[in-house]
Amino acid sequence: MATKSGFLTEAGNGGETHRHEPQAANPANDHLTTNQGIKVSDNQNQLKSGERGPVLLEDFVLREKIFHFDHERIPERIIHARGSAAHGFFELYESLSDITKADLFQRAGEKTPVFTRFSTVAGGAGSVDTPRDVRGFAVKFYTQEGNWDLVGNNIPVFFIQDAIKFPDLIHSVKMEADRGFPQAASAHDTFWDFISLMPESSHMILWAMSDRTIPRTLRNIEGFGIHTFRLVNAAGQSTFVKFHWKPKQGLASTCWDEAVKIAGADPDFHRRDLFEAIQRGDFPEWELGLQTFDQAFADALPFDVLDPTKIIPEEILPVRLVGRMVLDRWPDNFFAETEQVAYCPANIVPGVDFTNDPLLQGRLFSYLDTQKSRLGTANFHQIPINQPKCPVMNFQRDGQMQMQVPKGRANYEPNSLADQGEITGPRECPAHGFTTVAAADAPTEQGDKLRIRPASFADHYSQARMFYRSLDVAEQSHVAFAFTFELSKVDFAPIRTRMLGNLMNVDPDLAARVAGGLNMPLPAANDTAAPVLDMDPSPALKIINGKLDLHTLKGRSVGILVADGSDAPTVEALKAVVTEAGGLPVIVAPKIGGVTLSDGKLAKVDKQLAGFPSVMVDAIAVILSDDGCASLINEGAAVQYVMDAFGHLKAIAADGGAQPLLNKAGVVPDEGVVAPNKGFVAAAGKRYWDREPGVRKLPRAPKD
How many angstroms separate the Cα of 275 from the Cα of each of 258, 263, 270, 311? 21, 17, 9, 32
| 87 close to 115: Cβ distance less than 8 angstroms | yes
Supply φ then ψ for residue 132, to 5 degrees: -70, 110
Out of 235-249, 383-397, 631-645, least confident range: 383-397
User: Over 90: is that where the pLDDT of 10 sits?
Assistant: no
In this prediction, residue 445 carries a pLDDT of 64
Q: How far is CA 144 from the centre of its chain?
A: 28
How many angstroms separate the Cα of 184 from the Cα of each of 50, 127, 131? 38, 7, 7
Residues 181-188, mean pLDDT to the nearest whole number: 94
Instruction: State if pTM tops 0.85.
Output: yes
* DSSP code string of 357-392: -HHHHHHHHHHHHHHHHHHSSTTGGGSGGG--SS--
Q: Which residues contact 530 (CB under 8 A, 6 or more apart)?
A: 455, 458, 459, 460
Residue 112 DSSP SS3: strand
Q: Which residues contact 663 (CB under 8 A, 6 or more apart)?
A: none
Where on the phi/psi map is residue 555: left (φ > 0), alpha (ψ -120 to 50), or beta? left
In this prediction, residue 416 carries a pLDDT of 85
Give residue 202's identity as a one-letter amino acid code: S
User: Over 60: is that where the pLDDT of 702 sits?
Assistant: no
In this prediction, residue 12 carries a pLDDT of 39
In this prediction, residue 423 carries a pLDDT of 73
On the question of a cis peptide bond just before residue 406, with omega within 30 degrees of 0, the verdict is no
pLDDT band at 408 (very low <50, low <70, confident <90, very high): confident
Query: How far is residue 154's CA from residue 225's CA, in Å, rounded to a whole number?
Result: 9
Closest CA to 114 of 321, 370, 331: 331
Supply φ then ψ for residue 645, to 5 degrees: -60, -40
Q: Roughly what angle, to the nearest 10 degrees, separates helices 60-70 and 358-375?
A: 40
Q: Which residue has the higher pLDDT, 379 or 168?
A: 168
| 589 close to 605: Cβ distance less than 8 angstroms | yes
Q: Roughly what angle, to the nearest 10 degrees, separates helices 189-197 and 493-506?
A: 40
Query: How far is residue 526's CA from residue 528's CA, in Å, rounded to a whole number?
Result: 6
Query: How far is residue 454's CA from residue 337's CA, in Å, rounded to a whole number?
Result: 41
In this prediction, residue 8 carries a pLDDT of 33
User: Over 70: is that where the pLDDT of 439 sits?
Assistant: no
Helices of type H across 471-620:
473-488, 493-506, 508-518, 568-580
E strand or H helix at 48: strand 47-49
* pLDDT tens for each residue of 586-644: 999 999 999 999 999 999 999 999 999 999 999 999 999 999 999 999 999 999 999 99
User: Over 80: is that where the pLDDT of 310 sits?
Assistant: yes
Residues 659-669, mean pLDDT to the nearest whole number: 97
Neighbours of 265 (CB within 10 A): 16
How many angstroms separate the Cα of 99 from the Cα of each of 109, 347, 429, 511? 18, 20, 22, 44
* pLDDT tens for each residue of 314-368: 999 999 999 999 999 999 999 899 999 999 999 999 999 999 999 999 999 899 8
Domains of the chain in start order, with CATH, are 60-176+198-205+214-385 (2.40.180.10), 465-541 (1.20.1370.20), 557-685 (3.40.50.880)
Residues 224-244, mean pLDDT to the nearest whole number: 97
Stated length of the chain? 704
- Give 554's DSSP letter: T
In this prediction, residue 73 carries a pLDDT of 61
Closest CA to 649 of 608, 690, 678, 682: 690
Residues 472-499, mean pLDDT to the nearest whole number: 98
Beta strand spans in 555-651 (E):
557-561, 584-589, 595-596, 602-603, 607-608, 619-622
Per the prediction, the chain carries an average pLDDT of 91
User: Over 70: is that where the pLDDT of 204 sits?
Assistant: yes
Closest CA to 390 of 146, 115, 148: 146
pLDDT band at 402 (very low <50, low <70, confident <90, very high): confident
Active site residues: 80, 153
Residue 31 DSSP SS3: coil
Q: Considering only the C-alpha atoms of the chain, give the largest distance between any 2 of them, rounded to a whole number of Å.
A: 107
Q: Which residues contact 606 (CB under 8 A, 6 or more apart)?
A: 586, 587, 588
In this prediction, residue 7 carries a pLDDT of 33
| 137 close to 245: Cβ distance less than 8 angstroms | yes
Q: What proportion of the chain, given as a percentage, has pLDDT over 90?
A: 75
Closest CA to 175 of 189, 193, 161, 155: 189
Neighbours of 635 (CB within 10 A): 15
Query: How far is residue 564's CA from residue 601's CA, in Å, rounded to a whole number?
Result: 10
Query: How far is residue 621's CA from residue 643's CA, in Å, rounded to a whole number?
Result: 13
User: Over 60: is that where the pLDDT of 74 sits?
Assistant: no
Torsion of CA 501, 505, 511, 515, to 10 degrees: 10
In this prediction, residue 97 carries a pLDDT of 97
Residues 195-208, mean pLDDT to the nearest whole number: 98
User: Over 70: is that where the pLDDT of 14 sits?
Assistant: no
User: Over 90: is that where the pLDDT of 700 sits?
Assistant: no
